[in-house]
Amino acid sequence: MSARMKLKVLSMNLVNESQIEAFEKARQTRDARFDGKFFIAVRTTGIYCRPICRVRMPKVENITLYISAAAATEAGYRPCLRCRPEAAPGTPAWSGTSTTVKRGLRLISEGALDEQSIEELSDKLGVTSRHLGRLFNQHLGVSPQAIAQTRRLHFAKKLISETGLPMTEIAMSSGYGSVRRFNDHIRKVYNRSPTLLRDKRSVDADAGVKLRLPYREPFDFDGMLAFLAMRAVPQIESIVEGAYVRTLQIDGETGLLNVSQDVENRCLVCKVELTNTRPLMKVVEKVRTLFDLDADPSEINQCLSENGELTDLIAENPGQRLPGAWDPFEVAVRAIVGQQVSVKGATTVMSRIVDRYGERIGETVLFPTPESLAALSVENLSMPNKRAQAIKDMAAAVVRGEIDLARSNSSEILIGQMTAIKGIGPWTAQYVTMRALNDPDAFLHSDLVILKSAASLLGIQSEKEMLERSQAWRPWRAYAGMHLWRYAASLAR
């Protein structure tokens, strides 16, 4: 049996057969485009690496390919200390997995198994824990618990390597629950204590909590900032000297977030000021979501370019990302306010909402809670009463649990929940799903700006025709919509 055939046999139940050939070429060339898409476990050393690792190339007959770091860890391999698998870009969209698995992964990434049992997670997903385990093993080769454990391990290692935080804080921030569990897990996987893993030469003791979040190139950070700047909620978020800055409150902790770009190292630099660092992992997950860091531009651009209609737009901006939401409720309110008014007009109204209903803690201003807006006085807002009532009713529905803005929700369910509120139309609901759920296939086919761009570029004359044409762009229609929005801006210049 040839070495290439041995690789196929060893990887068959972990990597799709059609991927193996591409992955092997990427391994041989250390192709950065595949970083985070698969991991290479070397049986002779017991270590697994990223495909970009600069160590001596192992022989093909000595390796096994895994589609996730969790699968490699579960098989007994240790993370490489040189290429640091915890520093790889996120796995892009977990392509090919079932809807239930994707929703489960989102919940796990938000800490579901740090605070809840597998039975509680399964209940949220509407399946039994046994069936959920079968689905994870079928699609990912590992259990939900293994995914959660690797998530904790990698985040802990990241904090050890990139911050000067005390080990006790790292243990709590990584979801371990106790220092003993943290120490035991680190020793078991890395065969050394957490203290010995820290390279004190690389840690700036005065930097506080500053983490590097990698992305796949190309990445249009300036375009993302421009989008967020136009829609920034006054007193809550702003763009300052090329960085996104906002106030935050998470798990009862109030703080400040600053996100900038490090072009040379292909990462975003996330600075977090929190008195208690326990929610740090949730903060980082929200930043990843907001800036769409798990996206794979090569896959998205290839799909959108297949019929040639959007090729020129993609060539002009191959690093287009889908802006997410730090706070889904905040985005939902902003979307309702923005119905049938200009972006500037909506910003003015949002400023008044924050002034009247936002919470002030010292000099920090926080966005109003659903409870506060559920009790708002419709007459006190300088906007049509029908729209103000829609905000009030939406907030009340969130409080009652009738609207679920969690990322684990499905777009169809959320659209139905939103449009059940009088005064909220399909455009608003679709916009919320695009940003709050990060749905890559959400498409605002009735948006006037998108229709204007489609008419100029593609000769499309109706919403129905727009919807039909968009089927060719699935499952990345949200990115197509972003390209068409940007094209409209170029027409206006």
Asked about 303 being catalytic, the answer comes back as no
Backbone region of residue 84 per phi and psi (left: phi > 0; alpha: psi in -120 to 50; beta: other values): left
Q: Helices 411-419 & 426-436, crossing angle to 10 degrees?
A: 140
Cβ proximity of 345 and 230 under 8 Å: no
Q: Which of 35, 327, 393, 447 is catalytic?
A: 447
Residue 441 and residue 412 in contact, taking contact as beta carbons nearer than 8 Å: no
- Tell me the HSE value of 183 on the side-chain side, using a 13 A CA sphere: 8
Q: Which residue has the tokens 């809807």?
A: 99
**Nearest CA-CA partner of 84 in 204, 202, 207:** 202
Instruction: Decide if 214 contacts 266 (C-beta within 8 A).
Output: yes
CA distances from 437 to 103, 309, 323, 478 (A): 11, 27, 11, 12
Taking only Cα atoms into account, the Rg of the chain, rounded to an integer number of angstroms, comes to 23
Residue with tokens 């703080």: 255
Please say if 355 is a catalytic residue.
Answer: no
Q: Two tokens at 283?
A: 């903060």
Catalytic residue among 35, 49, 303, 439: 49
Find tokens 């027409």 and name the residue: 491
Interatomic CA distance for residues 257 and 270, integer angstroms: 7
b/e per residue, 82-94, with b = 16+ CB within 10 A? ebbbbbbbbbbbb
Among 24, 90, 22, 77, residue whose Cα is nearest residue 49: 77
- Strands of the sheet containing 267-274, edge to edge, are 209-214, 267-274, 253-262, 243-250, 237-240
| Residue pair 169/160 in contact by the 8 Å Cβ criterion | no
Residues 6 or more apart in contact with residue 258 via CB below 8 angstroms: 240, 243, 244, 245, 270, 271, 272
Catalytically active residues are 49, 447
